Amino acid sequence: MAFGRVNPQFRLEDQGIEGLGNVYYNLMEPALIEAALKKGEGSLGKGGAFLVTTGTFTGRSPKDKHVVKTDSVVDTIWWENNAAMSVEGFDALYADMLAHMKGRDYFVQDLVGGADPQLSINVRMVTELAWHGLFIRHLLRRPERDALNNFMADFTVINCPSFQADPQRHDCRSQTVIAMNFDRKMILIGGTEYAGENKKSVFTLLNYLLPEKGVMPMHCSANHADGNPVDTAVFFGLSGTGKTTLSADPARTLIGDDEHGWSDRGTFNFEGGCYAKTINLNPEAEPEIFATTDKFGTVIENMVFDPETFELDFEDDSLTANMRCAYPLEYISNASETALGGHPKNVIMLTCDAFGVLPPIARLTPAQAMYHFLSGFTSKVAGTERGVTEPEPTFSTCFGAPFMPRRPEVYGKLLQDKIAKHGATCWLVNTGWTGGAYGAGSRMPIRATRALLTAALDGTLNDSEFRKDENFGFDVPVSVPNVAEVLLDPRRTWDDPEAYDVQAAKLVQMFADNFAQYLDYIDDDVKAAAIG
């Protein structure tokens, strides 16, 4: 049986997907919650939030993500970074998944990726879990109801957590699989309930498609000055560096928290919702995000709560440190209605340095910005990827290597040209450790990071006095309003400044070793900005 609203010319049967149990097309939030409750997928929390746990997988599985090696992409995919799957493996996977799906109920959401209608793609999400339907409905962009009657998908994603892949037969690594096929215009996900795979697979897709249109796809959040989209800022950063936290700024309009494009017309969000970390979420430091946690339909993933009062425990990370909430953009009080911004006036690169070496803010020349963009230094924080239990230094190019199907220079060149053309000012912001490395020092106070960003974005920081950093060559401000001066010079925050020098020298060497791989691909000015 089919329920809900769908283009009568574009049912699952029209795509060759047949023999399912009930199919629920484009249910809205209340109906999705009702279905999820009936299926015992979770429980209703305060204010009508929906509480779920995801079992074994509470973070992404980047090593299980595959691109199918078809002729059309064989020369354009960066295979060193993207695990290949054979065409035969994919065909077997698809056939087996369809067989597994027979007789089971599925939820279909017809959605859009990209707030700029000239650059958007239509995505059909087919999910086994009703709450995954709710999640992706929050995260992607929801078409007008009437537009659903003639919706056609550019890409289809099938997410079937109860399906277990067979590495031999399906040419994959484990029972968990994310397989992207650009010829079949399909993504298959199996063996994981972590909701983040849904949104990040659409992101990966756009990261492949948009460069061909001259658009720079970015793993970044974005906001603009209230009433003034010309004053747009983007915040690049790998998971855990503060994209979501810092873009939700009471003084600025939120465009989006994770994935954006930069076209000739400016910036646009790929998504229509946010996915925030809730560990130690504090109503004073992050009031807008905190306020979403008891709103109707907000998906609360892997949080411990009191079974009687449904009070959430923001400190209890016993299920995972990567506990999350997912909500539509409009749940943030000062979110943009269009999800569009101007050309970024400021480009911020967030890093979470667990060595406690990098200063809390530095101004970068365009060449230094390119150097840091290609380097993508940060520390992976606990939980977002399987197996990461404490901060682990990493170089994740473009601040999002797991989501980049093409070679880093493709994205680097696009960004370099756009920064030059629009004269953006670039900054490196360390939201990681101060007063020592992880274990000795402490995480940078959110208050301080926000004050630094305020000064950078309102232009006052540009006029202040800078020192040139001996180790990294960038400009570091000497004093900033509302920030303790000592914080600006990490060496002074360490009990033992000589230990700082040792750690800094090690980090410089790590940068140099990592960057060797890009030397053949970059301009001389970027080479001149290289560290070490």
Ligand X SMILES: Nc1ncnc2c1ncn2[C@@H]1O[C@H](COP(=O)(O)OP(=O)(O)O)[C@@H](O)[C@H]1O
Known binding positions: 60, 194, 200, 219, 237-245, 258, 286, 324, 449
For residue 240, state whether it binds ligand X (rule: CB under 6 A). Answer: yes
Q: Which C-beta is closer to ligand X: that of 159 or that of 244?
A: 244
Give the nearer residue to Mn ion in terms of CB position, either 138 or 243: 243
Task: Output the six-digit token pair for 436.
Answer: 């020592």
64 scored as a contact of ligand PEP (CB under 6 A): no
527 catalytic? Reply is no
Per-residue exposure over 101-124, b if at least 16 CB sit within 10 Å of its own CB, e if not: beeebbbbbbbbbbbbeebbbbbb
- Catalytic residue selected from 66, 138, 199, 243: 243
Of 96, 231, 258, 353, catalytic? 258
Q: Binding to ligand X by residue 449, rule CB under 6 A?
A: yes
Residue range at the interface with ligand PEP (CB under 6 A); choices 26-34, 134-142, 236-244, 476-484: 236-244
Determine, following the binding rule CB under 6 A, whether residue 441 of this chain makes contact with ligand PEP: no
Which is closer to ligand PEP, CB of 60 or CB of 252?
Answer: 60
How far is residue 302 from each of residues 126, 312, 446, measured CA to CA in Å? 22, 11, 24
Judged by CB under 6 A, the number of residues near ligand PEP is 10
Residues 6+ apart with CB under 8 A from 125: 108, 109, 110, 111, 132, 133, 136, 140, 157, 159, 198
DSSP states of 8-45: TT--GGGGT--S-S-EEES--HHHHHHHHHHTTS-EE-
- Which of 141, 277, 324, 372 is labelled catalytic? 324
End-to-end CA distance of the chain: 65
- Separation between Cα atoms, residue 121 and residue 124, nearest integer Å: 10
Q: Is 239 a catalytic residue?
A: yes
Task: Detail the residues annotated as belonging to a binding site for ATP.
Answer: 200, 219, 237-245, 286, 324, 449
Residues numbered 272-331 forming contacts with ligand X, rule: CB under 6 A: 276-277, 279
Distances (CA, A) of 224 to 210, 216, 334, 364, 453: 23, 18, 10, 21, 13
* Interface stretch with ligand PEP, choices 116-124, 225-233, 240-248, 352-360 (CB under 6 A): 240-248
Cα–Cα distances in Å, from 371 out to 215, 237, 473, 523? 20, 14, 12, 10
> If binding means CB under 6 A, how many residues of this protein chain bind ligand X?
17
Q: What does the DSSP 8-state code read for residue 532?
A: -
Type of residue numbered 487: L
Known catalytic residue at 243: yes
Contacts with Mn ion by CB under 5 A: the residue count is: 3
Using CB under 6 A, pick the residue from 26, 207, 244, 336 that binds ligand X: 244
181 sits near ligand PEP (criterion: CB under 6 A): no
Pairing between β-strand 155-160 and β-strand 121-127 as defined by DSSP bridges: parallel
> How many CB atoms sit inside 10 A of residue 347's CB?
25
3-state secondary structure of 80: coil
- At its nearest, how many Å lie between ligand PEP and the CB of residue 384? 5
Interface of this chain with ligand PEP, residues 31 to 60, rule: CB under 6 A = 60
Query: What are the CA-CA distances from residue 144 to residues 5, 7, 68, 118 (Å)?
Result: 12, 13, 33, 17
Among 61, 239, 247, 425, the one annotated catalytic: 239
Q: Report DSSP state, residue 129.
A: S
244 binds ligand PEP (CB under 6 A): yes
Is 324 a catalytic site residue?
yes
Question: What is the 3-state secondary structure of 433-498?
Answer: EECCCCCCCEECCHHHHHHHHHHHHCCCHHHCCEEECCCCCCEEECCCCCCCHHHHCHHHHCCCHH
The one of ligand X, Mn ion, ligand PEP, none whose footprint includes residue 431, by CB under 5 to 8 A per kind, is ligand X
Q: Does 241 bind Mn ion (CB under 5 A)?
A: no
| Interface with ligand X (CB under 6 A), residue from 45, 242, 366, 408 | 242
Residues 404 and 137: their CA atoms lie apart, in Å, by 24
Residue 259 lies near ligand PEP (rule: CB under 6 A):
no
**Numbered residues of the known binding site for Mn(2+):** 200, 219, 258
Among Mn ion, ligand PEP, ligand X, none, what does residue 446 contact (CB within 5–8 Å per kind)? ligand X
Backbone angles phi, psi at 37, to 5 degrees: -65, -45
244 binds Mn ion (CB under 5 A): yes
What is the nearest approach in angstroms of ligand PEP to the Cβ of residue 62?
9
- Residue 60 in contact with ligand X, rule: CB under 6 A: no
Query: Known catalytic residues?
Result: 60, 200, 219, 239, 243-244, 258, 324
- For ligand X, the binding residues (CB under 6 A) are 237, 239-246, 276-277, 279, 431, 443-444, 446, 449
- For ligand PEP, the binding residues (CB under 6 A) are 60, 196, 200, 239-240, 243-244, 258, 275, 384
